[in-house]
Amino acid sequence: MKIITFLIALLFFNTVNCLEKQNIKNKLSKLKKQTVVIHNDILKNNSELKRIKIDINRNTQKQVIFKKHIKNKEYLGRKLVFLLQEKIYLSPLMTITKNLSSKSDDIITKQIVREFFLKQVKHGINEFFVSLDGIGQLKVELVENSRKYEKKKSDLEKKLKNLEKKIREVAALQKKIKTDQRLKLKEKKLKKKAKNLNELVSKAKNVKKVILKKNKTEIQMPVQGFIVSDFGEGKDFHKLKNGLVFKVKEDSFVTSPINGTVIYANKFRGYGNLVMIEDNNGFTCVLIGMKNLLISSGNEVLKGEPIAKIFPDVRSQLYFELRQNGKVINPKSKVEIL
């Protein structure tokens, strides 16, 4: 009887334990998806901020020009009339008219021609002042754009704080989930024994694949920045030629290019922090140059999930290499068009 009671209690404990683990995994998955959504919103918000900033700078520049060169409409009007009259009297038509009228001394002809051209001048000046009235609306647009900019900036700060909070929650839950310790052990050995990047990548293959949905792999760029070294160039970052090298203009999150498993997340020789992520479809991503890592080997990551940070330092660059079934390929040939 005692044995049966013990077995029932053990079964109950295991069931509760499994349910608790599953709840943690579900909560972790939900949080990870939230970080992806929030980060995408931040990128969109940041792009809108830059666009508004450009509009503000353009309007400000136009206002400066307006105030510097257009101070008095009446004075400006007289100058325009003078210039246009001068142009009229120097035109070929006026030369012909003058020759004709000098012979016939036809005052009526002169008056008709003068009246015709002065009407054209008046029409042109009116149109010009209408455009000046439009420029006068720049101040209103500038105020509105400035208001939008401050609101977007405030929204961005709130979203960044929310993202940081979600990332901390993910890290806390991640610690409660037991990861494959063989990956940790293999990472430690490879860090010491691998002689170069190629050897590290080829030997870091996951010993236990995480079962993911067998869909077509979707790949995206790990950061929004400008490419300083293209595939095959090796202009920068230890002269690595098998990937892309990015620089950023502002503090940025580095995100996972694919859905997959982190098989290496540590320093490696002179490269600094290095992260490798692989999926079930034969793709492996290599990322080098991050300052702060937010993940560790054994973690499952989502495409677009923040996994590290990078800053716009003089020497700070991000290297992104992509391999398919061990073969190096140009990331641009596979990355999705955003």
Residues 88 and 106 occupy one common structural domain = yes
pLDDT at 135: 59
In this prediction, residue 208 has a pLDDT band, given cuts at 50, 70 and 90, of very low
What's the domain range around 278?
Answer: 180-338
End-of-domain residue from the set 148, 178, 208: 178
Residues 20 and 164 occupy one common structural domain = yes
End-of-domain residue from the set 142, 159, 178: 178
Residues 210 and 160 occupy one common structural domain = no
Residues 143 and 215 occupy one common structural domain = no
pLDDT at 269: 85
CA torsion 122-123-128-134 (nearest 10°) is 130
Residues 300 and 153 occupy one common structural domain = no
| Helix-helix angle 107-135:92-104, to 10 degrees | 150
pLDDT at 217: 80
Residues 166 and 200 occupy one common structural domain = no
- DSSP letter for each residue of 55-92: HHHHHHHHHHHHHHH---HHHHHHHHHHHHHHHHHTSH
End-of-domain residue from the set 145, 178, 211: 178
pLDDT digit string, tens, across residues 86-142: 555 545 545 545 554 444 455 666 566 566 666 666 666 666 555 555 556 667 777
Residues 194 and 337 occupy one common structural domain = yes
